[in-house]
């Protein structure tokens, strides 16, 4: 692991790091905030998954999470959203919603993407092992949240590993990618045309198929341009109601899809996570 930068913030350390990933076959960059803590202490870990076009830098620079993490004693980890580098395949037309910056947190099975686009295994296996080895992380206390495409990732990963992630939340998540344009474009290119293979990467479908968590927190802005066409939080609400999952869905009046929205409610989410992480 190579240190790109470190800065002191709220008594802790905000670092940016990179390493050679076996899963993606590329260099991967990620950020970690470690709050002030007693020597030898092990701290709970909050994973944050970013959305389309983003890198680790978006939330690191605009998420406004460090004050709350310092107070609550939370390590905050922000991976990239896709592999990057020379030779990594991208959208043929350079569109923003597929390829670089748009890994959708899946392990691709289709060529030419299968070699590099292994973001599911990277986020759930490889990077956690690195964080456990290099930082004062208590891996028995992990939680996960994300925004938009990252909200999709957080929900699907949290629903798949409910014993690992003690809290799951999202900002404006893609809750049913199997039936919205973003997912209808990305999932067949990454996973093939068999829609049955898409269901394990679709939060609503996972719940319909029996996946369960105790509770979910979702914030969604009412002025979000993607609300009706791509996000459809009411589908998640219906699925959770049918499954008996305690969903807190907060429709935030006047907020859009940006980090102005995310940063406004980040502290709420971190306090919700801290309560469940003990």
Q: Enumerate the H helices of 49-202 as residue ranges.
A: 56-62, 66-72, 119-121, 127-134, 149-160, 181-191
Is residue 257 part of the annotated active site? The answer reads yes
Identified catalytic residue from 147, 224, 269, 273 = 224
- Partners of 15 in the β-ladder: 6, 32
The β-bridge relationship of strands 27-34 and 75-78 is: antiparallel
CA-nearest of 61, 52, 74, 53 to 31 is 61
30-48 as b/e, with b when 16 or more CB fall inside 10 Å?
Answer: bbbbbbeeeeeeebbbbbb
Contact between residue 149 and residue 201 where contact means Cβ atoms under 8 Å apart = no
Identified catalytic residue from 148, 201, 202, 219 = 148
What are the catalytic residues?
148, 224, 257
């Amino acid at each position: 692991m190579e240190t790109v930068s470190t800065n002191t913030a709220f008594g802790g350390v905000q670092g940016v790091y990179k390493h050679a990933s076996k899963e993606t076959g590329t260099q991967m960059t990620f950020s970690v905030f470690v709050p002030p803590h007693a020597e030898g202490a092990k701290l709970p870990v909050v994973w944050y998954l970013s959305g389309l076009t983003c890198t680790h830098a978006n939330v690191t620079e605009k998420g406004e999470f460090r004050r709350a993490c310092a107070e609550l004693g939370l390590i905050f980890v922000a991976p990239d959203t896709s592999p990057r580098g020379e030779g990594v395949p991208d959208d043929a037309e350079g569109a923003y919603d597929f390829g670089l910056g748009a890994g959708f947190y899946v392990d691709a099975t289709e060529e030419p993407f299968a070699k590099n686009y292994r973001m599911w295994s990277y986020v759930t296996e490889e990077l956690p092992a690195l964080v456990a080895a290099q930082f004062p992380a208590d891996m028995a206390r992990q939680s996960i949240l994300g925004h938009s495409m990252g909200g999709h990732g957080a929900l699907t990963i949290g629903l798949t590993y409910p014993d690992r992630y003690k809290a799951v939340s999202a900002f404006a998540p893609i809750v049913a990618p199997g039936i919205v344009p973003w997912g209808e474009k990305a999932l067949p290119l990454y996973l093939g045309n068999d829609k049955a293979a898409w269901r394990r990467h679709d939060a609503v479908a996972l719940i319909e198929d029996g996946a369960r968590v105790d509770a979910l927190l979702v914030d969604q802005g009412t002025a979000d341009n993607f609300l009706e066409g791509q996000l459809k939080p009411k589908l998640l609400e219906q699925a959770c109601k049918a499954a008996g999952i305690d969903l807190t869905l907060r429709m935030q009046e006047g907020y859009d899809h940006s980090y102005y929205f995310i940063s406004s409610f980040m502290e709420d989410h971190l306090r919700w996570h801290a309560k469940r992480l003990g």
